[in-house]
Amino acid sequence: MEQSQVKDKSLAPQGYLQIEWAAKHMPVLNQIKNRFSKEKPLKGLTLGGCLHVTKETAVLAEALSAGGANVVLCGSNPLSTQDDVAAALADEGIHVFAWRGQNTQEYYQCIDKVLDYKPVITLDDGADLVGTLHSKRKEQLKNVKGGTEETTTGVLRLRAMEKDGSLKYAIIAVNDAYTKYLFDNRYGTGQSTIDGILRATNTLLAGKTFVVGGYGWCSRGIAMRAQGLGANVIVTEVKPVRALEAAMNGLRVMPIAEAAAVGDIFVTATGDINVIRKEHMQKMKDGAIIANSGHFNVEISLEDLEALSTAKRTLRPNLEEFTLKDGRRLYLLAEGRLVNLAAAEGHPSEVMDMSFANQALCAEHLAKSDKMAPKVYTVPCDIDDNVAELKLKAMGTTIDKLTPEQQKYLSTWEMGTT
Ligand SMILES: NC(=O)c1ccc[n+]([C@@H]2O[C@H](COP(=O)([O-])OP(=O)(O)OC[C@H]3O[C@@H](n4cnc5c(N)ncnc54)[C@H](O)[C@@H]3O)[C@@H](O)[C@H]2O)c1
């Protein structure tokens, strides 16, 4: 069977340095890796991962390998693979099928190559691996013990599969751990989305009108960081409570149809489809910049943008100019794919430390459990708490402990107004 397929194996030395840099900032995962090397909880198991192949994912892959797993990886987005990192992983004997700039056919071929290794545990980011197993490779389903899912969109898809009875094995929704979404989705996406926009455009955010599509965990982070850099932030939402929260956080809230006319920069992170479409593009100012940080490249209607345009050209990496029939120019970043991974490096290692600690501990949990019923599960509380404790310890932060008196007070009802 093919061992690996990457863009350029000679990039491995640079990839090793990147992985070393990431590992220095991932103390929780390192502790797990050290324990895994001794205990080998994943011994003999093939783990198939469809994850963004970044330096942080490499640290996760190394931790899983240290635990005895045979790790096989492909990318979870055609533009997010870091080719030097993929080369280093291939060099250390981890099976990796990923390169930056894949077309859709190549993307799914790489998923197939992972499945050729017949993984018994899957680690997915967006549920394309699970989706392929359940559609094209059904005969393999009986051998799968369970899986994990990294992101909101993947969890939504898997819950839909559970609801209509098509999910055939247990999935742990890593995304829904507190130590994942409160930090990764909010601070990780917040910082790295701004990083992606700046690397692609080097535009000044201070004084710009910055429109954020959604006010969920990711979009809250993006809005917070854009505001911190002096942008005038507008939020668009469909949920009343979230819109209210944005308004009370001092942000302007309005429908995208109104925001379209006033925004300088637009970023979507909703997990929804066609959030920015023809009627909005028709109202946008000349020079407006449009980007997406949601999982799939469906949040901005690329068909509409193409249909409205008479010409397009690439000005800089990840920056395409579309000239509309009336002469206005709109600027699309990273082909509408997640701008933080395609135009920057994804989340900082410190954040992925917690997300991937959850991944590693959930893989161990699945390996040690009897086969679980085919449902979407939340991350066990002890794993979530353990990740938070290890992270605090690594940060040198200590916290208080409840006294016996406080424990009693908090668990009884007799004592009221005194
Ligand atoms: N870029 C990254 O690295 C990264 C990291 C984590 C998650 N994600 C992805 O980002 C997306 C959002 O994730 P999240 O955790 O913030 O989800 P979330 O559910 O917390 O938030 C999404 C928000 O978008 C709103 N929304 C839905 N449709 C909308 C519309 N048409 N207009 C305006 N608002 C709308 C929802 O009401 C919700 O408040 C998902 O696709 C997720 O997979 C990306």
**How many angstroms separate the most distant Cα atoms in the chain?**
75
Task: Phi first, then psi: give them for residue 304, nearest 5 degrees.
Answer: -65, -40
pLDDT of residue 38: 98
Nearest alpha carbon, ligand 1 atom 33: 237
Nearest alpha carbon, ligand 1 atom 3: 189
- Give the integer Cα–Cα distance in Å for 239 and 257: 16
Residues in the chain: 418
Q: Is the CB of 271 under 6 A from ligand 1?
A: yes
Return the H-helix or E-strand segment holding 267.
strand 265-268
Closest atom of ligand 1 to 181 CA is 15
Closest atom of ligand 1 to 151 CA is 43
Closest CA to 176 of 349, 406, 355, 370: 355
User: Within 266-398, where are the H helices?
Assistant: 278-281, 302-308, 339-342, 349-368, 381-394
Q: What is the DSSP string of 127-181?
A: SHHHHHHHHT-GGGGGG--EEEE-SHHHHHHHHHHHHTT---S-EEEGGGSHHHI
User: Ligand 1 center to residue 227 CA distance, Å?
Assistant: 19
In testing the pocket of ligand 1, which one of 157, 176, 185 has its CB within 8 Å of the most ligand atoms?
185
User: Ligand 1 center to residue 251 CA distance, Å?
Assistant: 18
pLDDT per position as a tens digit, 187-228: 999 999 999 999 999 999 999 999 999 999 999 999 999 999
Q: Is the CB of 237 under 6 A from ligand 1?
A: yes
pLDDT of residue 1: 87
pLDDT of residue 231: 98
Q: Is the CB of 83 under 6 A from ligand 1?
A: no
Nearest alpha carbon, ligand 1 atom 32: 237
pLDDT of residue 145: 97
Q: Is the CB of 215 under 6 A from ligand 1?
A: yes
Nearest alpha carbon, ligand 1 atom 18: 216
What is the pTM for the complete model shown? 0.97
3-class secondary structure, 216:
coil
Which residues of the chain are modeled with pLDDT < 50? Answer: none
User: Ligand 1 center to residue 168 CA distance, Å?
Assistant: 26
Q: Token pair for residue 94? A: 């981890």
Task: Phi first, then psi: give them for residue 107, nearest 5 degrees.
Answer: -60, -50
Closest atom of ligand 1 to 218 CA is 16
Nearest alpha carbon, ligand 1 atom 1: 293
